[in-house]
Amino acid sequence: MSIQILTAAVVRDTGVTHAVARTAVTSVFDAIARSLAVGETITISNFGTFAPVTLRERRSHNPATGAPLTAPETVVPRFRARGRLRDMVRDQDPTASVRKLPAGRYARR
């Protein structure tokens, strides 16, 4: 799934313009990335947790020459599904919703 498809889903589900939806989608991803970059953990109820994880230094080898080398310690982002998202994936139910939408303007059409 791409940002374009996510943006189209926001437009379809909320009725906002494409420009507003694109701004909202990219803002969410930017906020998550900035938080991870400074070492913060992001928890979204019934969806999951994004967290920076430190991978320890390890020994490896150059695949071309076979020469040993040391891969340095590094920080990578990790995601753990939680709640309804985990249940939806486990049950393979694409019709379910991670959250219930409020009635009115933002209700599903």
Tell me the residue range of the domain where 8 lies.
1-40
| pLDDT score, position 79 | 95
Residues 5-16 have pLDDT tens digits of 999 999 998 999
In a domain, 89, yes or no: no
3-state secondary structure of 24: helix
Total structural domains within the chain: 1
Q: Which residues contact 6 (CB under 8 A, 6 or more apart)?
A: 25
Under 8 Å between Cβ of 80 and 48: yes
**Residuewise pLDDT in 10s, the chain (109 residues):** 888 999 999 999 899 999 999 999 999 999 999 999 999 999 998 889 999 999 999 999 989 999 999 999 999 999 999 888 888 888 887 777 766 555 555 444 4
In a domain, 9, yes or no: yes
State the Cα–Cα distance between residues 54 and 41, nearest whole angstrom.
13
Under 8 Å between Cβ of 69 and 61: yes
